[in-house]
Every structure is written in structure tokens, then in C-alpha cells.
Amino acid sequence: MTIKQALAALAMTGTLALAFPATPARANGAASTRNLILLGAAAGYLIIQHNRKVHERYAEDAQRQAALEQQNNNAWAAYNQEKRAYSEELAVNRELQKEVAYQHNVVEQQRRQLAAINVHKNFVSPGVALSPRSGGGRQIAMASFGWGQI
């Protein structure tokens, strides 16, 4: 029994004592029986209220525990999702690295082929055209996007 419960019981007993002052016992015992019945009813009421409060607290604790478990489950699910997304990103990066390595090999192969046939002396890079007016000098090609000449 907690201090609050003891104080409530004491207050209830005091209230009953004031409401039904002690009188000498009568020969018929009607007052004594009435007082015992009222005291028993008051004690029963206090026990019922106490049990109700205890069960409410148990329910609140259970709800709190369920919410914490839900948060933990959500956190674990989020962690697993992030881990899976990271693994997928790693796979994408590996594929991109393979593509870059393949393209690098193709470029190197083409450079070797051009070097083998000695094309690099006469090779003109894209976007550069020979100007017939300047006697073979290089002129940058003009591109038009519909705005006229700039």
C-alpha cells in the first residue's frame, strides 16, 4: 500500500467516523451492522479504484512499450532499406566503371590503329575545316543555331 492509498483510506475512515459518530452499542446492533456494511462498501470502492488505476498504468506502459518496439522496427527497416540502396549504388558504380574502362580501351585501340597507319600527320580534328582561301590554313567551322551569324 502506497502513501497515497494510506492517506485516502485514512480520509475515508475519518469521513465515515464524522458521518456516523460512535454511539454506545444498542442491544439490537442495527447501528453496528450499518457501520460495518458502510465501512466494507467504502473499502471495496477503494480497492476497485486502486485496481482500475493499476490496470490503466499497465495499459499505458504496454502502449509505450509497443510504440518503442514500433520505432525500433521502423529504424531497423529504414537501416535495411538504406543498406540495400547503398548496395545498388555500388552495383551501378561498378557498371559505370566497366563502361568507362571499355570506352578507354576502344579509344586506346583506335589511337594505336591510327598511329599504325600514320594518319596523325594529316588528321584534322572534328570542328576544324581547311579554308580554301587561306591556302590550307585552319579555320574553325561556324555553327548556326538559327540566330544568324555571330
Helices 30-116 and 3-19 meet at what angle, rounded to 10? 150
Write out pLDDT tens, residues 44-69. Answer: 989 998 988 888 888 888 888 888 88
**Of the ranges 26-30, 61-65, 88-92, 98-102, which one carries the lowest mean pLDDT score?**
26-30
> Is residue 31 within 8 Å of residue 23, measured between CB atoms?
yes
- CA–CA dist 100, 138 (Å, integer): 32
- How much is the average pLDDT of 39-44? 89
SS3 40: helix
Contacts of 25 (CB under 8 A, 6+ apart): 31, 32
Residue-by-residue DSSP string for 14-80? HHHHHHS---PPPSS-HHHHHHHHHHHHHHHHHHHHHHHHHHHHHHHHHHHHHHHHHHHHHHHHHHH
**Of the ranges 7-21, 40-54, 74-88, 94-108, which one carries the lowest mean pLDDT score?**
7-21
DSSP conformational letter for 136: S
Residue 150 has what pLDDT?
52
Write out pLDDT tens, residues 71-82. Answer: 888 888 888 888
Residue 107 has what pLDDT?
93
Write out pLDDT tens, residues 116-137. Answer: 887 555 555 555 454 455 555 5
CA angle 31-37-41, nearest 5°? 145
